[in-house]
Amino acid sequence: MRFRRAIIVGAGLAGLSAAVALRRVGVPVSIFEAAAQAGGRCRSYHDPQLDRVIDNGNHLVLSGNRAVARFRESIGATEKLAGPDEAAFAFHDLRDGNSWTVRFNDGRLPWWALSPRRRVPGTKAFDYLAFLSLARARGGRIDQHVDPAGRAWDCLLDPVLLAALNTVPAEASARLAAHLLQETIGKGGLAMRPRIAEPTLAAAFIDPALRWLESRGSPVMFGRRLQTIGFPAGECATLDWGQGPEPIGSDTAVILAVPPWVATSLVPGLDAPNEHRAIVNAHFAFAPPAGTPPMLGLIGGAAQWLFAFPDRVSVTVSAADHLVSKDREALARRFWADIQAAYGIKARMPRWQIVKEKRATFAATPEQDARRPGAATSWDNLFLAGDWTQTGLPATIEGALRSGETAARLVVAARAG
């Protein structure tokens, strides 16, 4: 089937990635978004309580994320992704007040584990063999491949996997963890330098993509929620935006870049992840002390990761289902206590904001990973994109962008016929 144009439903990173990839090869695209803004979970907004522009959550990318680099280069993004010149990850243990930084060496041979000055204090090189065992896993749960205990696990592997998988690591998919390790530690520190969008996610990813698409005649049309898809005669034939079915023509491809629960309501018989994990973020209108690490992992507290911006401090807690029903002010006070302890300060709690994402990502368990569909569907002109599709990665920015590229590649391949 030859496609002359494409309709993209959803303007999160997956939908924007698909749109950019298609426009780069000359395929006209129309992009529809149900919300009033683009970005999906990676969005920025002015918060009146803080009187600051904040991201709904803190999203980390790495220097070796190839799809991130391709996307930003394509759209001409100029706002930098901030981070250290080496693969360095700072931690602070709230239980005993100790701090350390794990420093991965640039090359693939992991000699950092042999250096007491680069690894977690109180660990031995032997303790890091768990990385190698897990990197070779092909299935099952993580705790079927490594012992989820010990100082190296508690102070490095567990917090890193928890953040990446948004699922309690012991019960999470070993296959997904293996892919993560292969693309990070397996490639060496040059691929592992942490990068944070600065000043915001919108400035680094969303706004330049919208400008790029609009300049090529493909602006995003907001407030357009797809109600139903018609499938007569074995193909995706009509789209209903609330005013009745509209035929799309046999020369049009449709890419659904929507959350899994939306996709399954629109596509009959679609199997997709149906269990999700929450993320809770907190933002404080407080300028961090000089010398504060841009990103700090906390051990033994309610807060898991601290992100220091010039005008605010943000907290991220992954697999936060146990927190989403908690009182917002009580959460803010718990997090602020952790911030004070980590930074060694005493200060009144500043203005704050709590952002709860109850269905932030699919649960990265083996069972849910097995439910992830590919980009192609049973209908020749219907394709899927989203970090919940089968990218081989957990729900990350890199995975979302790759999913859009994959869907676009299938459309182009069918167009070439």
Q: 73 in a domain, yes or no?
A: no
* Residues 186 and 226 reside in one and the same domain: no
pTM of the model: 0.97
With H, G, I as helix, E, B as strand and everything else as coil, classify residue 312.
strand
Based on the domain organization, do 369 and 263 belong to the same domain?
A: yes
**Whether residue 270 is found in the same domain as residue 369:** yes
One pLDDT digit (tens) per residue for the chain, 417 residues: 589 999 999 999 999 999 999 999 999 999 999 999 999 989 899 999 999 999 988 989 999 999 999 999 999 999 889 999 999 999 999 999 999 999 999 999 999 999 999 999 999 999 999 889 999 999 999 999 999 999 999 999 999 999 999 999 999 999 999 999 999 999 999 999 999 998 899 999 999 999 999 999 999 999 999 999 999 887 899 999 999 999 998 899 999 999 999 999 999 999 999 999 999 999 999 999 999 999 999 999 999 999 999 999 999 999 999 999 999 999 999 999 999 999 999 999 999 999 999 999 999 999 999 999 999 999 999 999 999 999 999 999 999 999 999 999 999 998 665
Quick check: 152 and 123 in contact, CB under 8 A? Answer: yes
Dihedral Cα 327, 333, 335, 338, nearest 10 deg: -150
What the block records as the tokens of 102 is: 């794990």
Question: Do 387 and 341 share a structural domain?
Answer: no
Which of these three, 149, 169, 190, is where a domain ends? 190
Together in a domain, 112 and 253: no
Looking at the structure of the chain, the number of domains it has is: 3
Q: Are residues 32 and 171 in the same domain?
A: no
In a domain, 137, yes or no: yes
Residue 40 covered by a domain: yes
Q: Are 375 and 410 in contact (CB under 8 A)?
A: yes
Q: Where is the domain boundary, 129, 162, 190?
A: 190
155-160: list long-range contacts, CB under 8 Å, 24+ apart.
155/91, 155/93, 155/100, 155/120, 155/123, 155/299, 156/89, 156/91, 156/102, 156/120, 157/130, 157/131, 159/91, 159/297, 159/299, 159/304, 159/305, 160/89, 160/297
Written as six digits, the tokens of 269 are 């018989």
Amino acid at 409: R
* Domain of 34, in residue numbers: 5-48+200-274+365-416
Distance between CA atoms of residues 318 and 277, nearest Å: 8
- On whether both 154 and 28 belong to a single domain, the answer is no
Residue 180 sits in the same domain as residue 215: no
Q: Is position 96 within any domain?
A: no
Asked whether residue 88 is domain-assigned, the answer is no
DSSP-assigned beta bridge partners for residue 240:
228, 245
CATH number, domain of 216, equals: 3.50.50.60
Beta-carbon-side half-sphere exposure of residue 357 (alpha carbons within 13 Å): 23
- How far apart CA 201 and CA 186 sit, in angstroms, is 27
Whether residue 256 lies inside any domain: the answer is yes
pLDDT of res. 412: 96
H-helix or E-strand spanning residue 178: helix 174-183
Residue ending a domain, choose from 347, 362, 377 = 362
On the 0-12 / 13-18 / 19+ scale of CB atoms within 10 A, 154 is middle
Q: Is residue 87 part of a domain?
A: no
